[in-house]
Structure 1
Amino acid sequence: MNDKLILVINPGSTSTKIALFNGLDLLKEVDITHQADDLAGFASNLEQLDFRFAAVEKALTEWNCQPNELKAVIGRGGPLKPLSGGVYHVGASLMQDLQSGKLVDHASILGGLIACRVAESAGIPAYIADPVSVDEFEEIARISGWPELPRISLSHSLNIKAVVAEVAAESGRKPEEMNYIVAHLGGGFSIAAHQKGRQIDVNNANDAGPFSPERCGTLPLTGLLKLACSGKYTFGELKKKLIGKGGLVAYLGTSDCREVARRIDAGDEKARLILEAMAYQIAKEIGAMATVMKGRVDAIILTGGVAHNPKVVPWIKERVEFIAPVIVKPGQNELKALAAHACRALADASIVKEY
């Protein structure tokens, strides 16, 4: 009997992932790819709200599921103000910020908006959980070296916290008892120090840290300043080169680590050098996070799509295994992580936070 139906919505830059759970049991899932031509007419992600909502309505219709059959709706959290981790009720204040147009323009802002629209029609709660703006930094971690530019916590916190909970449970412990370094390796990389249940430090995947399939990571500052002031690029053009066309794309013309591995197997030495350099930088950032926790690290967790790669993972492991055991949890299951948050919220309303 489907008595705990939860709708999960995860909007990405070019797709909307939608899933229907009964508790933690996945019943239906669809990954809707939005073609560039379909999105070209929208000036911002916020303008896509009606378009994306229609996709969710269509999925529910195809699944013969009415909104009033649901117990809750939960969406991916966007780049909101700094928040502690956990599940949040989508109320008036949160909706105001999501609709303001003042947030970083990212598709994830639509998660809460769509969830609220579905929930309102059914009279059920709407939630978001562990948004990218989760901020549990210690104050010392905010200091950058220049007062006008403090370090900001923006990361793949939903997947990071999900794998922390999973690994802790596998050892019969709670996240609050463990110290982990988590390397989320996707299109962008977040390397986090997760101490006693809190994400006390992490690189901002758009600003610093290792280069990744699509992003530049930390760059030589003087050279970047000269390039920015050269007149060669507009702000938008340079930003696109750094975030979206950087990393592997810049060096090798592809963001697909599987393709790079195939080139290496075919004898491409440049491909080998660049991919190994990426693994080198990941390992170096993991080492930095070990110092944050003064060496008291229970395990290093590698997760995200790149953690599937048979070349990158061994290259990382050989450099960091001296710090702590390395646990590989490839891929990410953000839909199930969101469903788990909704289940806990329905079971215990006291854990639900207000924005």
Structure 2
Amino acid sequence: MSAAEEPVLFHTTGHAGRITLNRPRALNALTHTMVRRIDEALTAWERDPAVQTVVITGAGERGLCAGGDIRAIHDDARDGDGSASAAFWRDEYRLNARIARYPKPYVAVMDGIVMGGGVGVSAHGNVRVVTDRSRVAMPETGIGFVPDVGGTRLLALAPGELGTHLALTGTQIGAADALLCGLADHYVPSDSLPDLLDALTGLPAAEAVAGVARTPPQGVLAASRDWIDACYAADRVEEIVRRLLAHGDPAAKETAETVLSKSPTALKVTLASLRRARRLGTLERVLDQEYRVSCAALTMPDLVEGIRAQVVDKDRRPSWSPRTLAEVGDADVERFFAPLGERELGLAGE
């Protein structure tokens, strides 16, 4: 395999260690190999005094990373025993935790599309840059899955009920809203990114970013806080939908229709995950919970069906099972949180 074909590229320039996700035709979707190699590079650079800053970017024009390789997860859940996906998540979630605790500046350039696993390798960093092209989302409920990669902790920490809104709907947000929700730290116009990357080779990360950071164009979420906070404060998805439909703002009614298009099971498990994440405290404890939930999702029909409809056949017409929120009982939700025994991720105990 030539260097250009490697799924993730590494090089150092000046004081910066550069990670480039290099699957542009797949929107830089993460594979297990990529996760392992990023972890190896972080180990080497943590010990290398010449590397003072780590910078992650995505190849191509479309974005940093659209998430994990969900086609592989689909095939494993449908035709395999789920062990490959569980092994991938085990290493991916450990990488997410490592990024959050990395002792050197970790600069994530969240340009273009940043979704799912892409959020996991960026939004846990300590210097997170969004641009005018950023489209950040956790869209898992649309494929019968639940926000993972520490996403339930990130969203649980967002102001008010903004995180609940983003988690249930999978809504894509731009730079200002990513800053508002705590998913990013700085706005840099996309045409200034070359200047930023050049500055990072010689300047401390904070100084390099400060030289090009600007005030972002206005977002949309701040003006919707009244109905978002009121409607999503409910503890049951059915009640959230009822409040959205009853609210006078047309955007609230449209949002209810969006929620109702998602997997009923995934919606209820996502809401439970977020509420529990608020109480769990540390990222490691949340990742342990997410690992339980993700492994359980492998055994449920909606994950395979959701990926089929959105990514494989692309008919956008998933047939969820169960089909309605009323058919998903508390016991159905609780099974996603069942302990895994010897298969636990176990980050919180390390």
| TM-score between both structures, scaled by the size of structure 1 | 0.27
Larger radius of gyration: 1
Structure (1 or 2) with the greater helix fraction: 2
TM-score (norm 2): 0.27
